[in-house]
Amino acid sequence: MLKIYNTQSGKKEIFTPIEEGKVGMYVCGNTVYDFCHIGHARAMISFDIISRFIRHLGYDLNYIRNITDVDDKIIKRAEENNESTQSLTERMIAAQREDELRLGNKLPDREPKATEFMQEIIDMIQILIDKGFAYQGTTGDVYYRTSKFESYGKLNNRKLDEMLAGARIDVEAAKEHPADFVLWKQTKVGEVSWPSPWGEGRPGWHIECSAMSTNCLGSHFDIHGGGPDLKFPHHENEIAQSEAATGKDYVNYWMHCGAVRVNNEKMSKSLGNFFTVRDVLAKFNPEVVRYLMVSSQYRSAIDYSDQSLNEAKVALERLYTALRDQPMAAEYTPSEYTQRFEEAMKDDFNTAVAISVLFELVRDLNKAKTEAPEKAMTLATELKTLAELLGLLYQDPEYFMQNGTVSEGLSDDDIQRFIEERAQARKDKNFARGDEIRDELAAQGIELLDSREGTTWTRS
């Protein structure tokens, strides 16, 4: 049985889909005004793995992840760049997809944009007004009336007044209550806007997800996910809007991945420890980044640093070394390793334990290479199959060993020429020159590995 930690209940629960054999999952995506950072990568990779394993269990999954393409940040950035909001968002969406594919993710089944659901957003706001859950303030903006939704705060298990204490709440004279939040904003002259019964404007952030999720998956669906910073107020507000509008329970299981910290500090541009995915991939193989994200269970916080990535690279090399020059079986009968791997993943997608099972499999595989070659072939296939559920071991082992990090020094062709020169020197019994070449390469992070089949290399 699959167990999922439900943020709302604060405990693991046995997963029971609303409709047998089918799962609807909505994940809050990015506001596309800048390149993705490593915190975004954590969320994208976490829910990619969750979606892979849900499908592995035989469920028909409909995975929806939205794109927020209208927002104050987008408008401000577009003005700074002297470009249209559409031009900015299209560039950032393309960049996000490029980053995600490089990280080994499979794209969601659908990625709805907020601007594509403007009528649905307006319709939902009108329903909330008609039911008394929303009102138009003196400035023309439309607000949600939080005090009318009696169970407001149930996701975070806190009462309204408790959540307000210490929270950053915009206090405006137009609001009835400090916790009321905007559903529809009046726009300034020249800003992107849409016509509505309340004047030209654009939607608030929270209402976008309520409209998109319920239109894509229905008023009541199985799983809603996102980053750790979305629990309040975004997801709390989504619940209030959606359940008030539809009169139905919104989501059965709320899932939130852990945060990414940098050298044990919160990632922030002001602290100078803010890294985009592109920054990181300029130095490290994308699979190394993915391994770091997968090595901890999705709810755990991750500490990002060059050291942690180097450790991830070493661990991944151990897995790839087991597959290096290892023949594969066409098929295999799942062993205890598959059973234990699946048990770990069924326990709230515990990838940390699942990876430890892979390393036990590797020890058995390495031993079988000399003692039972046929067994080694089936174990190698089993290793590749299980790793694929985590999005790992998809590269050629030889290629990965040579490209675990991105080098600014010697190219592959340069290294190969040195290897050929060294081989000739040794053939000529000029061992001093051979050792000299090895040392020169080692000084530039290139480790040579000699075997009967010849010389291979890795970047250290």
The pair of structure tokens assigned to 315 is 């661990």
How far apart CA 64 and CA 107 sit, in angstroms, is 10
The pair of structure tokens assigned to 100 is 């995600």
Q: What are the Cα distances from residue 439, in Å, to 125, 290, 455, 456? A: 69, 32, 15, 15
Residues annotated as binding site?
Answer: 28, 209, 234, 238, 269
Angle at 416 between CA 414 and CA 422, to 5 degrees: 105
Q: Counting every residue, how long is the chain?
A: 460
Residues annotated as binding site for ATP?
Answer: 269
48 touches 391 (CB < 8 A): yes
Q: What are the Cα distances from residue 243, in Å, to 1, 65, 68, 210, 255? A: 29, 20, 21, 9, 18
**Dihedrals phi, psi of 35, to nearest 5 degrees:** -70, 150
The pair of structure tokens assigned to 434 is 């051979």
121 touches 203 (CB < 8 A): yes
Residues annotated as binding site for Zn(2+)?
Answer: 28, 209, 234, 238
Q: Do the strands 221-226 and 22-27 form a parallel or antiparallel pair, or are they unpaired?
A: parallel
